[in-house]
Structure 1
Amino acid sequence: MTVIKQDGADAMKIAGLLDEIMLELVTLVRSATANTARIWNGKHPDIVSRLPVEVRTACFRWLCPGDVLRASHVCRSWRDTTLSEARLWSVFQSHNPYFNYHLLELYVERSGSVNLSICVGSPRAIEVPHRTAALILANASRLRSLIYRDASPIHVATALLAKHLPLLEELVMPLHHLRLPTTWLGGTPPVLRRIEAAGLDIPDTFTPLPTVTSLACRMDAHNGWRPTDGRRLFDVFPCLETLKLSGVASSSLQRLPPSLRSLTVSCIDPASSFSHLLAPTGWIGSHGFGLDSLTLDKPVFILPAFEYFIRRHNKPWNMAIRGDAAVRISLQCPGVCTVTVLLQHDSYLSSQLSIAKPAMENLASLTVTYDVLCCASDTLIIHRATHLEIVLITDSEACRLYSHMSSSGDPVSLHMPRLETLVFTCALLARVDWVTRASSRTQLCKFVTFDSARLKHITLSVPDPHMLDGRESMMNGFKTYADGVTVENSTQRLDDFRASAVW
């Protein structure tokens, strides 16, 4: 056996030659693959590549911001098209907790000089890098929209408002306190439409922002910041249409702007503040211009909300109640303000509604998810309402409803003496035996009772009406206490329910 001895220099020389050979082979393979792909694509062009460039670009504008990057990696033709249109790169959104700074840098570079819309950060995000803030500040004059859901770095909000912002329409920085400048750089304020912040610092001398129609901010002092000055808030924003305030004290504000149509309020002391705010002399109750929507976040007592609602009209109205981790009550009347009350829990819902009974004289219709009723410890009595809709969102609710109508130990959930029409709307009907139980008045009255001998109509709204085919005995059971029975598809009803304020 022959042994070839090599010194270190020879070994390095051979290793270098091998690297060169491997690099050359890789280059040849890539070139051959690219030529093959080019020839194949030339003979089999995709339908998009056959279109004029202008049409291709218009098609790519329908893509979501993140999909533009993916499209640029499909083929050379698509890449050339996406890179030729700067506006395709003008919107950047990142809701991922692990933020990619280099991706934002790429979008800013490829967008050229067009307007920018940037959304970065999330409640679960690690800190957004400081260089992200520096990149945003360096392109402040191009910003049309900035949504910055991160608390770092703390100086970015102040530094941003000191910049020239001629195009800025939307500024959302829910973890930052905004210190409004005395004068705006460039002499004119930005054309802002929407602002969301952890608080506002209003200087003694300020420039009004009449273009702002949507505002969300905290009013109380926190994290070393002073409370927002409610006495001058509407001097700065005189044309608000949508307003969301948290940490409100009873004396935080003196008046509401005439243009306001939607208001959401959460108070520091809900037990006393909401009663004061909604009273005829309070700054909400005295708002004579009329709100289309009022949302009260976690009040202790719901009676003031009912009293405020019924002062607005004397027409029949509908109440919808949805339960989950919290309870959402919506008071609705066509053409009148919708009042939505968000409760932390439903432990005292029945007693609270009993206290509000005098305010419910014109209640004509009740829509309620079953989970609210099954958690109530007392029977809910609705004296004048003639229409009831029970919504079953989950399959477990259908199971519990079946058990409710089967047992004799559970209390009656509802008593509606004047009930005329009853609707069951079911999202998931994995089991239909609860329908069989409901077809017996005796079993139904373990859940809801009424005084009339017969109901005018019962509607069974289920995902697939054919699931109830061939159940004549069940239908005949309903007809023993209802003049009419209808089975329909629940899709439209559920869509309407989800679109309503109660959802």
Structure 2
Amino acid sequence: MRMTIDGALADVAHAWNERHMDPLRRLPAELHVSCLQWLEVHELFTASHVSRHWRAIAVSEPTLWDSYDTGPFKDVEQSLKAVLHRSRSVPFDFTWSSYYTYTSEMSPMLGDMLLEHAFRLRRVRLRESTVPAAFLLSLLTSATPQLCTLEAWTREPLQLPDSMSSHTLPRLTSLMLERTILPTCIQAVSSVISLHLQVLPDCRHVFLLFPCVQDVTLDGVMSTTILPHELPQSLTSIEVFSDHLGREDHSEQLLSSGWRLVPHMRVDSTSILRPLQWFTARTNDRWRMTMTMLVPAGRNSVEMTLLAEEDAALHVFMPYDAFLIETGLEYQGCWTGYITRLTIDGVLDSLPKLVVRIQMLPSLLSLTLRLTQAYDVAAQQLISRNVTISVPVMQDLVLDYASSAKLTAEEMVQFAETVPAFLSWGNRRPLHLVGPGIGRIAQLPRNDLSFASTVCETLRFKDGSFEEFRSFSSPA
């Protein structure tokens, strides 16, 4: 009865609009379409129920329905079926967002619907879904002339089909796959320029399959993984990741390879010296080094960046414990002379150990200390060591209190006063104090900042938009 009444009211409203010519209906259909293009697909479903006219416009324009994200839908199969029907033959994008669909499993029905329209699939993103390898294999062996992006994780290793080639995948430019086994018979897929693979033990022929790739990420690479011997000429970026930092070391593979230096490279290592040996052999000693030590909150790692004059960079990630071993005197001459920028996160643990192990950083231009906790303990340790690091050309010292909002101005000053206890440089340099609450230090009288005259020529205070400078004359 209710549906009969609703239908009758809709008929009356429709007849009235026809008779009085609803102003919206006077607008060109193209203008309606341009307005509806601002809506997401789930919003289009709502809009198409506002009036028969809007529904007719929405349903008649297939480009409004050329993409689908599972996120907002509970009835994924039924809504996708409707969208595929309304999009007709236009190229189609599909994205799985498991956050809203409450499951990471892609149903067989959903896979069958996508395969039925494989010829017009343009972008398929299934990274948040657990996809059967059989579905991906069927997709890669189907006619997919429009496919330009494919991103998917599988339940089991995926054997790429021998039929993969530039002929079967003429427009594929971006590929991201998990647990991949390369084809037994390789035919080049020359259109791929962005590649992200979780590799299995042997991936030596990956660049034969993708010879024109520019941006590569290889996940799950172990020390025993067989990597390609050479890099393609098209390559501009390669990142190699292990599953657990510290358990795997890619530097041995780097040394034994014929890889050249490309603009962006990233590897894991348990050594400073092996990546240095590879890098210096390709730069003729014309390079510099930056280093970031991340110690607190479980991030016990060191990031070392080696920069060539032509701006090519090798980023090396290594465990903090392994780094400490190679700060001994027998290793220092090989690498400490090249550090130009150093950032230390976790001063309490790292800085006292570094001061004891390293006596000089002759090329260091910038030092940033990220201060998080226990300044009084760190200060006491640094003073008690009675040793300093010589930084003769340092131009910039930054004390970053960004993670220390609860400290008082006096506590911040207390650590700044210890700087001469662990750093030794010739002329006075600018000292930057950065972070929340720095304005409180800027308000202190000059007598409370007496340390500055022996440490620096300029104090710079910065807290968000607040910035202030103070100059100090040298002590008599």
TM over 0.5: yes
**Which of 334, 337, 343 in structure 2 is aligned with 1:367?**
343
For 1:483, the aligned partner's letter is E
The CA deviation string for residues 421-477 of structure 1, in whole angstroms up to 9 with x for no partner, is 21134546633526753366544457xx11136631012233587555532345554
Task: State whether structure 2 residue 107 is matched by structure 1 residue 107.
Answer: no
- Greater Cα offset, 132-141 or 465-474: 465-474
Any stretches of 5+ residues in structure 2 without a counterpart? 468-476
Task: State whether structure 2 residue 217 is matched by structure 1 residue 244.
Answer: yes
RMSD, aligned α-carbons: 4.5
Task: State whether structure 2 residue 459 is matched by structure 1 residue 485.
Answer: yes
- 2:77 and 2:386 map into 1 onto residues whose CA distance is 55
1:5-404 alignment runs, 5 A limit: 20=1, 54=30, 57-58=33-34, 61=37, 82-94=58-70, 100-120=76-96, 122=98, 125-149=103-127, 150-175=129-154, 177-183=157-163, 188-220=168-200, 227-230=201-204, 232-245=205-218, 246-248=220-222, 249=224, 251-266=226-241, 274-279=250-255, 282-283=256-257, 286-288=258-260, 290-297=261-268, 299-311=269-281, 312=283, 313-323=285-295, 324-326=297-299, 327=301, 329-333=303-307, 335-343=310-318, 346-354=320-328, 357=332, 358-368=334-344, 370-371=345-346, 374=349, 378-380=353-355, 381=358, 383-384=361-362, 385-391=364-370, 397=372, 400=373, 402-404=375-377
- 1:428 and 1:407 map into 2 onto residues whose CA distance is 21
- 2:370 and 2:73 map into 1 onto residues whose CA distance is 36
For 1:129, the aligned partner's letter is S
Any stretches of 5+ residues in structure 1 without a counterpart? 1-19, 221-226, 494-503
Check 1:408–1:189 CA distance in 2 against 1; reply closer, same or farther (3 A cut): closer
The CA deviation string for residues 389-425 of structure 1, in whole angstroms up to 9 with x for no partner, is 2346xxxx2xx05444565599879954214421134
Task: Check the 8 A contact 1:457/1:485 in 2, yes or no.
Answer: yes
For 1:135, the aligned partner's letter is M
- Greater Cα offset, 136-145 or 187-196: 187-196
The CA deviation string for residues 174-224 of structure 1, in whole angstroms up to 9 with x for no partner, is 32644343446996433211222234444444431111112222332xxxx
Check 1:441–1:119 CA distance in 2 against 1; reply closer, same or farther (3 A cut): closer
Check 1:374–1:361 CA distance in 2 against 1; reply closer, same or farther (3 A cut): same
The CA deviation string for residues 253-277 of structure 1, in whole angstroms up to 9 with x for no partner, is 2222122121122469977852322
Task: Give the match's secondary structure for 1:102.
Answer: helix
The CA deviation string for residues 58-96 of structure 1, in whole angstroms up to 9 with x for no partner, is 465456666655666788887666545433332223468
Task: Check the 8 A contact 2:165/2:188 in 1, yes or no.
Answer: no
Cα drift, residue 332 of structure 1: 4.7
Task: Give the match's secondary structure for 1:211.
Answer: coil
Task: Give the match's secondary structure for 1:316.
Answer: strand
Task: Check the 8 A contact 1:350/1:376 in 2, yes or no.
Answer: no
- 1:174 and 1:414 map into 2 onto residues whose CA distance is 53
The CA deviation string for residues 225-257 of structure 1, in whole angstroms up to 9 with x for no partner, is xx5452x32222111112222335364422221
Q: TM-score, normalised by structure 2?
A: 0.75
- Greater Cα offset, 300-309 or 182-191: 182-191
- 2:325 and 2:165 map into 1 onto residues whose CA distance is 57
Check 1:437–1:201 CA distance in 2 against 1; reply closer, same or farther (3 A cut): closer
Cα drift, residue 147 of structure 1: 1.8
Check 1:454–1:432 CA distance in 2 against 1; reply closer, same or farther (3 A cut): farther
Percent of aligned pairs with the same amino acid:
19
Q: How many residues align?
A: 444
Check 1:457–1:73 CA distance in 2 against 1; reply closer, same or farther (3 A cut): farther
For 2:139, the aligned partner's letter is L
1:15 — aligned with what?
Answer: none
For 1:217, the aligned partner's letter is L
Cα drift, residue 479 of structure 1: 3.9
Check 1:296–1:315 CA distance in 2 against 1; reply closer, same or farther (3 A cut): closer
Task: Check the 8 A contact 2:271/2:322 in 1, yes or no.
Answer: no
Task: Check the 8 A contact 1:192/1:211 in 2, yes or no.
Answer: yes
Task: Check the 8 A contact 1:164/1:185 in 2, yes or no.
Answer: no
1:9 — aligned with what?
Answer: none
Task: Check the 8 A contact 1:177/1:199 in 2, yes or no.
Answer: yes
Task: Check the 8 A contact 1:379/1:414 in 2, yes or no.
Answer: no
Task: Check the 8 A contact 1:86/1:110 in 2, yes or no.
Answer: yes
Task: Check the 8 A contact 1:121/1:128 in 2, yes or no.
Answer: no
